[in-house]
Amino acid sequence: MATIQELMNLDDRVSVVTGGATGIGLQMAKGLAEAGSNIVICSRRVEVCAEAAAQIEKIGVKALAVGCDVTKPDQVEAMKAAVLKKFGRVDVLVNNAGRAWAAPPEDTPLERWQQVFDLNITAPFLCAQVLGREFIQQKRGKIINIASIAGLVGRNPQTYNSIAYGASKGALVNFTRDLAVKWAQHNIQVNAICPGFFVTPINEKLYAKNKDNIEREIPLKRTGGPDDLKGIVVLLASPASDFMTGAIIPVDGGAVAW
């Protein structure tokens, strides 16, 4: 029987966090590093990844910065090759990279709809497929998809008006469930975190404009903080969640329980 310290220990594991250079991605990367995992930060801007990797290494683990457009299959394959070259293994994939486009449904351009879907659902599929081939060979792996409570319920258009974002995150939720079923035979656990409102560089203007409305819809009356995703991502990356797969977990201050 393992102790809880052993179950939550990520020493020597290798975790890939897409979009991990800023915002909640960086928060989760730091949480995984604090639990002992080596970290791969990837996004299109390699210089920002390098800055984040330097922060991660101060925690006492190894970090790798990789420039990668995760909507491009060849770049995802190159990212995997870089990870295996440096670490010789990969254990965890956190599909965090995402985007939104705010506009009423009747005014949303098809081009913007497609861009949101490319990053929010096609990219997680590509990354899961490419790294999943490694997980299948080694008969273990953890995939953590970062969806949103916008993928679980409709949102108030006065505050949130991005039909493409909500639809793509809903697709990611069911992708999580179906992939969990498909890959259970390979001992790969696939789960999703659905954050509520966390203030990040991407949405800080929205928050400043709608602070009262946003917090009014959260039973805990606050937005997510700098540590609020660390525990759940470490749980889902660790042996403590080996009997969890296909789970969809809101971390939202109670917003979807309202």
First to last CA, the chain: 39
How many Cβ atoms sit within 10 Å of the Cβ of residue 86? 15
The catalytic residue among 160, 165, 183, 198 is 165
Tell me whether residue 160 is one of the annotated catalytic residues. Answer: no
How many Cβ atoms sit within 10 Å of the Cβ of residue 213? 12
List residues with catalytic annotation.
165
